Structure 1
Amino acid sequence: MNIFLNLSTHKAGRLKWAILLAAFILPGFCQAQTATDAAPIVDHIAICVHDLKKSTAFYTEVMHLQKVPNPFADTLHQWYSLGNHVKLHAIQGNCSYKHDITEHLCFAVGSVKEFAKRLDELHIPYGNWKGDSKEPTLRPDGVLQLYFQDPDGYWIEINSPAKGK
């Protein structure tokens, strides 16, 4: 306790004390400002599925998503990594709504054509936004895209970047 009293009684000591306080207080203040001013980031996207085993097979075998630990430790939930700390959370339940193509998950791949070959091998129908079977869409910006549905009817877009980008 004497050390702190001695620091505060001398001019140089007060300066050291102020620097010490600033070193502990300012980082927390700056971090709090960043946390409250920053836009929220996506943690996970939850979907309702009828058959969790069927969905798990689809997302691991077709989409090659990696399963991540299930915080519920039960048989009604499955979590998958979507990259960058974002997860897909599949919840088994009584899902009773129809899915529209305008509501879709989009995944980027190196080659839409190679991914389409895998869908063909697995007999999974796919097409473009208009619904033309096996026909990808070429956007005006050069991105190639195709659409298909998971076992519960959720629409999935697969796209690959424009050449040269």
Structure 2
Amino acid sequence: MRHTYRLDHFALLVRDLDRSVAFYRDVMGFSPIERTGSANVAWLDIGGGDAIHLIQGDFGATHVTKDTHVAVSTADLDALVAELDAGGIPFTDWPGNPGRIGVHRNGFRQIYLQDPDGYWIEINDHRPPTV
């Protein structure tokens, strides 16, 4: 049987919860979600009903590479790149060229940046066809 899914949330293990919340709030523009519960977990709204959970804990065994990344899409990649440039926030294309916007083989543009724990984030202007 075929099921239909949509992203609900993704979770990242982080070293310093406050530092990571500040990055995802101030750089990425995600909105904190007020929740009760554990002091070592924060939720942020990434848009469209989707969320990120940041969980502070033992980061020791975590291995981060660019191949394992989170990708989000934005309607105005040029405005975002201008904000990153103005804020001195580094980004690259897929090969790692600083300050370059890459073009995916399917034609959409993309950049990559890292959060405070080294997780890679792809930001692109990919808009899949509506069904």
Question: Is TM (by shorter chain) over 0.5?
Answer: yes
Look up the match of 2:45: 81
Superposed CA RMSD: 2.1
Deviates more, 1:56-65 or 1:83-92: 83-92
Name which one, 1 or 2, has greater alpha-carbon Rg: 1
1-structure distance, mates of 2:82, 2:48? 27
Paired residues, what number?
A: 127
CA contact (8 A) 2:30 2:47 kept: no
2-structure distance, mates of 1:56, 1:109? 20
Alignment of 1:1-165 (within 5 A): 38-72=3-37, 74-96=38-60, 97-161=62-126
CA contact (8 A) 1:127 1:135 kept: yes
CA contact (8 A) 1:98 1:153 kept: no
Q: TM-score, normalised by structure 1?
A: 0.69
Q: Where has structure 1 moved over 3 Å in runs of 4 or more?
A: 39-42
Seen in structure 2, the aligned counterparts of structure 1 residues 42 and 113 have a Cα distance that, compared at 3 Å, is closer
1-structure distance, mates of 2:56, 2:87? 24
Deviates more, 1:81-90 or 1:53-62: 81-90
**Which is richer in strand?**
2
CA contact (8 A) 1:49 1:93 kept: yes
Query: What is the CA distance between 1:59 and its match in structure 2?
Result: 0.7
Unaligned segments of structure 1, at least 5 residues: 1-35
CA contact (8 A) 2:10 2:51 kept: yes
1-structure distance, mates of 2:15, 2:105? 37
**Which is richer in helix?**
1
Unaligned segments of structure 2, at least 5 residues: none
Identity of aligned residues (%): 31
SS at match of 1:107: strand
